[in-house]
Chain A
């Protein structure tokens, strides 16, 4: 693990990985969108609104994945002082917030025609809204201190405390009687969704994931450059 704690090694690895994930993401989006919009059938109950699922569900998965990975990174930052962990969390947060917003908006756009309402305060929707606020809170908190180290420390603690929300989101549809349907892909008895709809969903989920990988690499590089700038400014201020 500590082999990768080294920013220069990370940058070399990132430079290798970035072109691959970028191209892969472009291909997956093309294929996934073709399948989702053209090749897949409409739902026998929901008609064409089922196509919203191909955006809504990958966005929701990525919202949860991003937060979980940030919480793990926060633990690594607090316990091992892993220098890249903070960089990762800070870089990933706006992306996670974007996925969560996308999930909420597309959910609303799906809820209006199918449930007859844009929004209900049911457990799933409310816990995802809380996830969105956790992202925003983290982003605000990290930048709220003059000393970046203190900001990162506070942010990491917020991420760990907020991690309790992730299982709540996941199991909210089972624990409470919600308007939101329970899981149909990630379930013990296998996916309860036909292959014609499962494939575009999985391909677009992978497209979202590779998009995230490429973008988070760009953001981490920017954050590392920012840290270098701060160090240079300090030496400049102290050295002259």
Chain B
């Protein structure tokens, strides 16, 4: 075991290489994940404040996790069914969704 950590006398070079790799890869992954969460949360609150959007997201199950909002917003079929039942002013909402599709 001591041999393993000793790395034939090159411990500092070998272990700092693997350490740097861990820091860079884990750091980028964490930053990407937290960035995604932050933006999805921002998108969710923004969609709530827009009146035209509120009705549509109210049709989706309430208490949405921030993470799943994007999926709800983009799963296509359910939303299109939603739009169809509401008719009228959803012409705009429909084309909006279409733009994202």
Contacts and interface: CB of A to CB of B under 8 A. Distances in A.
B86 to A, nearest CB: 18
Interface of chain A, helix or strand or loop or mixed? helix
B59 interface: no
Interface string A203-240: 00000000100010011011011101100110110000
A38 B1 CA distance: 10
Contact of B17 (A6, A109, A221, A236): A109
Interface of B: 4, 7-10, 13-14, 16-18, 20-21, 24-25, 27-29, 31-33, 35-36, 39-40, 42-43, 46-47, 49-50, 53, 70-71, 73-76, 100-101
26 contacts: A6-B101, A8-B74, A11-B71, A12-B74, A12-B76, A47-B9, A47-B10, A49-B13, A56-B17, A94-B31, A98-B24, A98-B25, A98-B27, A99-B24, A102-B25, A105-B17, A105-B20, A215-B29, A215-B32, A219-B36, A225-B36, A225-B39, A228-B43, A232-B46, A232-B53, A235-B50
User: Closest 3 interchain pairs by CB?
Assistant: A48-B8, A222-B36, A48-B7
Given A98-B27, A221-B70, A233-B46, 20 more contacts: A42-B8, A47-B8, A49-B10, A52-B14, A55-B18, A59-B21, A95-B28, A98-B28, A101-B24, A102-B25, A105-B17, A105-B20, A106-B20, A109-B16, A109-B20, A112-B13, A218-B29, A218-B32, A222-B36, A225-B43
